[in-house]
Each structure stands twice: as C-alpha cells, then as structure tokens.
Structure 1
Amino acid sequence: MSGGELIRRCLVAAAGVVLAALVPQVVPWRLCDGPACLIVGIIAVPALVFGVALLAWAIMAVGRIRPAWPVALGGPLVFFALVSTVADLPNTVVFFVVAAASYAYAALVTADALPRAWQVALAAPVVVLFVWGVVPRLLPAS
C-alpha cells in the first residue's frame, strides 16, 4: 500500500463516518421527555452507535476500504476513548471533527501497510485513554 493509498484510506474513513453520523442529525429525534427517557437512552444510544458504525462500514466498503470492518469496530473505540478523557463536545462541529479524526486514526492503525510494531505503538495510547476514561467509572467510589 502506497502513501497515497494510505491517505485515501484515512480520508474515506473520515468521510464515511461524517456521512453516517449525519443521518441521526437530520432525523427528528423526539422520543420522550423527563426521567422516563433513561430507559430509552440505555437502549437507543447503543443502537444508534451500532447503526452509525454499520452505516460507516457500508460507506467505507463502497469507497473500497479493504478490510473495512476493523475500521468500523475501531473507530467508535477511538471516539469514546477521546470523548471520555480529553475531548469535550460543546457543539456539533466538534463532534464531527472528533468522529472523523477517530475513524481516520482507526483506518491508519488497521492499515496493512504499517508493520505490526507500528500498529501496536499507535493503538497503545488509545487503549490507555480508553482504560483511563472507563475504569474509574466502573470502580466503586471510596
């Protein structure tokens, strides 16, 4: 895989998630109000994330990203690692920038052009951020 192909892979992955994430933005979501929405949120948010990842996978497959499934699985992990630790999402533009950067990074890490050592070295900070952001929420407060 050449450098141009690697750049195209990252750009198609970023564009794919932006297009996929636009779908929930244009659909009018008004399911409920108040505390009863907690149950809806527990079900709807994971379903929405899965749906966006599935749609991004389909867009990347059409854009000839081979294989596209590691990017579709890794992109949300990178996104949640960034959002839970360092990135604040004050508005929609920042959301789309972080989502596009997450999928582009996942496309870079999962590319066959990189040696396995580079893939591990690039994935390690994401794993650390993910653990740093998730584990404290799972442990009981002392």
Structure 2
Amino acid sequence: MLLVRRCLIAAVSGVLAALALKALPDVHLCTGVECIFVGVLVGPLLLFGAALLAWALMALARIRPSWPVALGGPVVLLALLTTVLDLAEVSFLMFSVAVAGCYALAALVTADELPRAWRVALGAPVVVLFGWGVVLPIVL
C-alpha cells in the first residue's frame, strides 16, 4: 500500500510541476539568436525548477526519500521525449499523462520496498532510451 501511495503522490507532484510550467507566461524567446539562450540556459533552469517544485511537494507529502524521485522523473521524461514522444505533436493532456507516468516510474525505481532485481528491470529501459536519445546524439 505504501508503494502505491508513493507512486500516486509522485505522479501528482509531477503533474502539478508541469502545470506550474504551463502557467508561466508565453514569451517568444526563440526568435533568431535567442534560441541558443533558450536551449542552453532557460530550458535546463525551467526543468530544474519543476523538479525542485516536485521535490518540495513530495517532501510535504512525506515521501522519503523524495530527492531521487525528483531527479529521476525529469531524466525518465527526457528519455521519453527524445525517443518516443514528439513534443510538438503532443497535447498538454498527453504530456501531463507522460509526466505522471515518468514520476511514478521514478518512484518505483527508487523505492526500497521493491527487490533490487525489479528496480533494475524497471530502470534498464530508461537507461537504454536515455543513451539512445540523449547521449548518442551528443557523441555523434
């Protein structure tokens, strides 16, 4: 029961962090040279801010430890967005479902209640997707 509670709170925290990002004013920063600024500085800062908000929400809900989930959720989401989902074609509802699933998976992988073999089995596809979608394009 604690594992289900942990996953549900992580999913809700991730969706609330995504809603907070959606509430930011829509500023057209990406026109010309500013695209470099957005990609290098603003994008990672927004992602870190959303992870920090999700961490605070999970800590308030007494999910212990909550920092691995807050750091793992965006990594799972980044692996999913760079390989499977196209952010331009996905509605915000589908994006919220993906965020909830990614944070729930991160909560499962970082839970002490699961045996180590299950955590490795759940985390291995994320490592493969992250390597394929994020690391490989950087190296090549």
> Fold conserved (TM > 0.5)?
yes
Are 1:54 and 2:52 matched, yes or no? yes
Opposite residue 86 of structure 2, the aligned amino acid is: D
**1:114 aligned residue:** 114
Structure 1 residue 83 displacement after superposition = 1.0
TM-score of the superposed pair, with normalisation by structure 1: 0.90
Structure 1 moving runs of 4+ over 2 Å: none
TM-score of the superposed pair, with normalisation by structure 2: 0.91
Structure 2 residues not aligned, in runs of 5+:
none
For residues 66 and 109 of structure 1, the distance between their equivalents in structure 2, rounded to whole angstroms, comes to 13
For residues 13 and 88 of structure 1, the distance between their equivalents in structure 2, rounded to whole angstroms, comes to 23
**2:83 aligned residue:** 85
Contact 2:29–2:35 under 8 Å retained in 1: no
Secondary structure (helix, strand or coil) at the match of 2:29 reads coil
Deviates most, 4-13 or 113-122? 113-122
2:10 corresponds to which of 1, 10, 13? 13
Rg larger in structure = 1
Tell me how large the CA RMSD over aligned residues is.
1.4
Opposite residue 69 of structure 1, the aligned amino acid is: W
Determine what percentage of the aligned residue pairs are the same residue. 55
Opposite residue 95 of structure 1, the aligned amino acid is: F
For residues 41 and 139 of structure 2, the distance between their equivalents in structure 1, rounded to whole angstroms, comes to 23
Structure 1 residue 33 displacement after superposition = 4.8
Are 1:35 and 2:28 matched, yes or no? no
Deviates most, 44-53 or 32-41? 32-41
Q: 1:122-141 residue pairs with structure 2 within 5 A?
A: 122-140=122-140
